[in-house]
Amino acid sequence: MTVASKLPKVGTTIFTVMSRLAAEHGAINLSQGFPDFDGPAPLLARVTHYLTHGYNQYAHMAGVPALREQIASKVATLYGRAVDPETEITVTSGATEALFCAITALVRPGDEVILFDPAYDSYQPAVDLCGGITHRLPLAAPDFKPDWQRLRDTLNDRTRLIVLNTPHNPTASVWDADDIATLRELVRDRKLYLLADEVYEHIVFDGRRHESLLRCPELYARSLVVSSFGKTYHTTGWKLGYCIAPPALTEELRRIHQYVTFCSNTPIQHALADYMAEAPEHAQELSAFYQAKRDRFLGLLAGSRFRFTPAAGTYFQLLDYSEISDEPDTELAVRLTREHKIASIPISVFYAEPPPTRLLRFCFAKDDRTLERAAEILCSL
Ligand SMILES: Cc1ncc(COP(=O)(O)O)c(C=O)c1O
């Protein structure tokens, strides 16, 4: 029997495609965004502890209370906002689940949703499943900031949701306070919601500050803010994240979350709660940790024919290859993996209408030896 697909345009994600190709060809994998080093040893020890001490049954639907307390305390310290763990914080199975539940909770058939391209690839399918209509507004090199006038012209009475992502994957750009002020002014008189994908909240460089929507009371009142423990604790495979939103929005989010997963992994939630309490400096030191990796990687590429603007945040670096090749990025990414044994991500796949840029995304969440071997190859091109 054939199935009329609800997502006919969706194929295998580029991350799976490139990681598989990297494995097939024995290539250094700087494509998919995951560290090639482990999370902190004391955190891993706490997981072992909870796994072996009977913490293996369903957790609270909204998340282990101790973990929600820790998230609230971090938000108060970093962003100056008091959020109620009981009514405003929901722990989810990765940021991916939070994003899916948020979009599903809000978007009704015919509602319009704004995405900024290049857009992380999980947003559009969720909107499609809800019967929403997306407007994909391009972010242009070199700074990849929104074209605010175009956003203003696109907003209308059917606009239900704007999805934003800062620090931004795949361009590594970071919104500043002016961007937030402009957004605030643009949405002020409109009945729409904001979904802020802030999974790289702890990875911003060169003295920048992460402008979380949690800092702005006026915007928070209409926002769902999503983060990921995978990015912060070098444990992407644990798939744990969370969503913070005002009580009425949280209630709607939980209506969906309850039937998507009900709850997330119990022992890991307990372990994270302990580790957040014991080592708050981990998150605070993450920017410096990744900035050193970015600088090391870019230092090694100084003699290459790639051109670049240093990443402002995240653990991704865009490299412009126009002096090396005029192939489309999708073809070059595959050829580099097959012939030169280095895998990257072509960014055109994240655009509805790709601009004529020549950019590949490289993940530098790798140990120094991996970065050195990668740079050696890149410098030989
Ligand atoms: C921008 C962005 N949002 C969401 C996610 C998903 O996070 P998680 O692995 O916690 O589901 C990722 C992971 O790469 C990401 O880059």
pLDDT over 70, % of the chain = 100
Ligand 1 center from residue 96 Cα (angstroms): 6
Ligand 1 center from residue 214 Cα (angstroms): 19
Taking only the tens place, the pLDDT of each residue in 61-92 is: 999 999 999 999 999 999 999 999 999 999 99
Mutate to test the pocket of ligand 1, among 169, 234, 235, 238 (most ligand atoms within 8 A of CB): 169
Taking only the tens place, the pLDDT of each residue in 274-332 is: 999 999 999 999 999 999 999 999 999 999 999 999 999 999 999 999 999 999 999 99
Q: Taking 90 as the threshold, does the pLDDT of residue 344 lie above it?
A: yes
Domain ranges (residues) in the chain: 14-32+285-379, 41-281
Ligand 1 center from residue 226 Cα (angstroms): 9
Taking only the tens place, the pLDDT of each residue in 105-128 is: 999 999 999 999 999 999 999 999
Tell me the CATH architecture of domain 14-32+285-379: Alpha-Beta Complex (3.90)
Q: Taking 90 as the threshold, does the pLDDT of residue 11 lie above it?
A: no
Q: How confident is the model at residue 270 (pLDDT cuts 50, 70, 90)?
A: very high
| pLDDT in the model for residue 17 | 85
Ligand 1 center from residue 199 Cα (angstroms): 6
Ligand 1 nearest-atom number relative to CA 168? 1
Question: Hey, what CATH topology would domain 41-281 get?
Answer: Aspartate Aminotransferase; domain 2 (3.40.640)
Mean pLDDT over residues 187-216, rounded?
A: 98
Ligand 1 center from residue 72 Cα (angstroms): 21
Vertex 16, ends 125 and 381: CA angle to 5°? Answer: 120
Q: Taking 90 as the threshold, does the pLDDT of residue 220 lie above it?
A: yes
Ligand 1 nearest-atom number relative to CA 33? 14
Strands of the sheet containing 133-138, edge to edge, are 89-92, 241-244, 223-228, 193-197, 159-165, 112-117, 133-138
pLDDT over 90, % of the chain = 94
Ligand 1 nearest-atom number relative to CA 165? 1
Q: Taking 90 as the threshold, does the pLDDT of residue 9 lie above it?
A: no
| pLDDT in the model for residue 97 | 98
Ligand 1 center from residue 380 Cα (angstroms): 32
Residue nearest to atom 14 of ligand 1 (CA): 33
Measured in degrees and rounded to the nearest 5, phi and psi for residue 216 equal -115, 105
